[in-house]
Structure 1
Amino acid sequence: MDERRLASFVVLAQELNFTRAARRLHMTQSTLSAAMKALEAELGVELFARSTRSVNLTEAGWAFLPRARDAIEAIDAARAAVEPGGELRGQLVVGMLQGLTMVDLPALAGDFHRRHPQVRLHLETSRRGTAGLVEDIRHGRIDVAFAGTSIEDARLRVVPLRSYTLHLVVPPEHPLADRDAVTMRDIAEETFIDMPPGFGQRAVVDEAFARHAQTRTVLVEVTDLTTIPAYVAQGLGVAVLPAELATSAATPLTAIPIADEAPTWTLGIVLSAVRPPPRAVHAFLDQVQHHIRPDRAF
């Protein structure tokens, strides 16, 4: 089976768009289309459901994706075993969270590229936040992801980077600002600023309210956690956030402990615990700690 076709299949499965995939692969759309038809003919199944408006993986395509990635990694490992120096090759796909600055991602990517120039490094975000990144890990669409969540899934491995205890964050003039602590019942009637459903921060807070049989109103939803304090400062609502974000905000905010809950979540690196990670993942993880910014809240 042609390694180039396998690599093209994996990229198209990630992009689900012939134009973007062809651009990443430095080939024409017609060449990519021909390669996929040849691969499907070789396998005797359709891997993609194509229409004039969309491209999606078929059931066979979903099943084939992790196997294709494994095959590419096996070829890379076999090549490295006989090549002088055993240089890493192949592709590494890293999922990211919007607004993450605690890890200097540009410097990390640059360092990794200089050390392993034959590895095609691809960085991407998910419009569904942590939920989307975790799903991509499970299905083999990405290799590793920075995600903020409290994952309890035997199929996933989490390398913790920093844990956060959440506080109620309010403007200094808010009626609750002078309290030493609040309860979930105290704050249930407030209007909130939060992330959309599916994001790790939102999931933790929603679960905390549910455990206390409380509901709440979310007025503003943003996909960048670090922008929430600015909305709170404008008096649009309160938020449940890491206290570090309140103290680092441009406008001073008050962080109040939540006495009966103290919800927490962990920023970490997520990868599959089911599939052996490619060698490039190990090399990437080795570099992460060198690019942590301890002075950044998130």
Structure 2
Amino acid sequence: MTNSWCDARPTLHLVQFSGPIPKLTDSCTGASIRRRPSVTGPGTFTSSQLATLTGALPTLRAFRRGTTVTEAAREQGVSQPAMSRMIARWESDLAIPLVRKQGRGIALTEEGMVLAGAAEEALAVFESSLETVMSTRDSRPVRLGTLRSLSGHLAPLIADAQTRVNLSVSEGSADALLSLLAGSELDAAIVGPRPTDAKFTWSFLGDQPFHLVVPRDHPLAVLREVQLTGLGDEPFVAMDKQYTTRQFADELCQEAGINPVIAVESDNSHTLRSFVQAGLGLCILPAAMAAAPGVSSVPILRPDSSTATREIGLVRVAGRQLPPHVRTILLNLTATFSQVRLGDRN
């Protein structure tokens, strides 16, 4: 005789469910019944099981080397109770006993020893690879982008650097450099004007003056400074519209109330200066790109008589972590850039 149906021989009923598997409970006690992790076949395991066990590798290796739970917890920066709970969770999630009591401490089970040996080998390979990656990271060049009108200013900064500088410099338009920076192909870029995109940070470096380039025998060549007002009838040659140099030149013309005819466009300042020398037109360029044989460059004044300049700064991607040596070199460049006279010819 049985006192209740819970004492009777259990009968197995197979029921096919559609949808989520219901939570299982013991009909007599009401306790939840833990399901063993699902396995797709003999000797296989799920990605979640792998992810669970990956966090256990350093602990298993420590136990294999005779480290106690307290010592392992201290090495990994957690409390001893937290370490004990992690071990219990690993065993529960994997449905494998990893440790057993031995005296006042613990020892690895047979299964735990097998996994600990694999953990030792796996971590040795990983740590070796990590050391190689970190070493490469700390020796790679600093990848710096710069406008062509500024690249020549980097040479004296690098020459005066107190430490060895391994630098890879890319030149281009501001838009092209910012695209490379956003794509992690550059660590930083020196551009102007300041980008409006919030994903970039900006460190002001200086003001870059702009000059009007004229033929050596042009009446404006003798002036110490010039306003663009009244030059609307003069032909001009200009940088291609993709460059911020051209965009700033157009802004200066608009401020002066002129809309000159652009006779020639080019992406090369040397070519533009040769066109000016040949008499094809005047040109607005950064002062550092304006001087050349056969031409004169005259500082431009805005309508309010202030010098025509644009801001130059160092741009980085906000929140992006850079290797320590890269950060150090960029900080040094930023600190010493104040010594640069942006109006000097490269």
Give the TM-score, by structure 2 length.
Answer: 0.48
Contact residue 157 and residue 336 of structure 2 kept, 8 A: no
2:261 to 213, 217, 238: 217
2:146 to 79, 96, 117: 96
Measured after TM superposition, the shift of residue 201 of structure 1 is 1.2
Summarize deviations over 1:268-293 as a string: whole Å, max 9, x none. 33222343444343133145366977
Other-structure match for 1:171: 215
Q: Report the residue type matching 2:248 in the other structure.
A: V
Structure 2 residue 187 is the aligned partner of structure 1 residue 112: no
Higher relative contact order (CA 8 A, sep 6+): 1
Other-structure match for 1:239: 283
Aligned residue pairs total 210
Summarize the Cα distance change of 1:102–1:174 in structure 2 as closer, same or farther, 3 Å threshold. same
Residue 280 of structure 2 aligns to a residue in which SS? coil
Residue 186 of structure 1 aligns to a residue in which SS? coil
Summarize the Cα distance change of 1:150–1:209 in structure 2 as closer, same or farther, 3 Å threshold. farther
Structure 2 residue 245 is the aligned partner of structure 1 residue 206: no
Q: Report the residue type matching 2:345 in the other structure.
A: A
Summarize the Cα distance change of 1:148–1:220 in structure 2 as closer, same or farther, 3 Å threshold. farther
Largest Rg, 1 or 2: 2
Unaligned runs of 5+ in 1: 1-74, 114-120
Inter-partner Cα distance in structure 2 for 1:131 and 1:151: 9
Structure 2 residue 298 is the aligned partner of structure 1 residue 255: yes
Summarize the Cα distance change of 1:174–1:133 in structure 2 as closer, same or farther, 3 Å threshold. same
Summarize deviations over 1:239-290 as a string: whole Å, max 9, x none. 12344554x4333514153341643223433222343444343133145366
Q: Report the residue type matching 2:153 in the other structure.
A: M
Aligned sequence identity (%): 23
Summarize deviations over 1:36-73 as a string: whole Å, max 9, x none. xxxxxxxxxxxxxxxxxxxxxxxxxxxxxxxxxxxxxx
Summarize the Cα distance change of 1:277–1:205 in structure 2 as closer, same or farther, 3 Å threshold. farther
Residue 193 of structure 1 aligns to a residue in which SS? strand
Q: Report the residue type matching 1:124 in the other structure.
A: S
Other-structure match for 2:202: 158
Other-structure match for 1:132: 176
Inter-partner Cα distance in structure 1 for 2:137 and 2:223: 58
Inter-partner Cα distance in structure 2 for 1:251 and 1:200: 26
1:143 to 187, 190, 207: 187
Contact residue 98 and residue 223 of structure 1 kept, 8 A: no
Q: Report the residue type matching 1:125 in the other structure.
A: E
Contact residue 214 and residue 277 of structure 2 kept, 8 A: yes
Inter-partner Cα distance in structure 2 for 1:104 and 1:132: 22
Inter-partner Cα distance in structure 1 for 2:270 and 2:261: 20
Inter-partner Cα distance in structure 2 for 1:293 and 1:182: 24
Summarize the Cα distance change of 1:143–1:87 in structure 2 as closer, same or farther, 3 Å threshold. closer
Summarize deviations over 1:178-230 as a string: whole Å, max 9, x none. 55655444123322232211212112112233445542333333334466434
Measured after TM superposition, the shift of residue 96 of structure 1 is 3.4
Q: Report the residue type matching 2:330 in the other structure.
A: L
Q: Which moved more, 1:199-208 or 1:179-188?
A: 179-188
Summarize the Cα distance change of 1:226–1:265 in structure 2 as closer, same or farther, 3 Å threshold. farther
Structure 2 residue 341 is the aligned partner of structure 1 residue 297: no
Measured after TM superposition, the shift of residue 134 of structure 1 is 1.8
1:193 to 237, 250, 253: 237
Summarize the Cα distance change of 1:174–1:293 in structure 2 as closer, same or farther, 3 Å threshold. same
Residue 157 of structure 1 aligns to a residue in which SS? strand
Residue 201 of structure 2 aligns to a residue in which SS? strand
Unaligned runs of 5+ in 2: 1-125
Summarize the Cα distance change of 1:122–1:188 in structure 2 as closer, same or farther, 3 Å threshold. same
Higher helix share: 1
- Taking only aligned residues, the RMSD between alpha carbons, in angstroms, comes to 4.2
Q: Report the residue type matching 1:255 in the other structure.
A: V
Contact residue 225 and residue 298 of structure 2 kept, 8 A: no
Residue 207 of structure 1 aligns to a residue in which SS? helix
Summarize the Cα distance change of 1:260–1:134 in structure 2 as closer, same or farther, 3 Å threshold. same
Q: Report the residue type matching 2:164 in the other structure.
A: D
Structure 2 residue 334 is the aligned partner of structure 1 residue 281: no
Contact residue 224 and residue 298 of structure 2 kept, 8 A: no
Measured after TM superposition, the shift of residue 88 of structure 1 is 1.7
Summarize the Cα distance change of 1:230–1:189 in structure 2 as closer, same or farther, 3 Å threshold. same
Contact residue 272 and residue 283 of structure 2 kept, 8 A: yes
Residue 271 of structure 1 aligns to a residue in which SS? strand
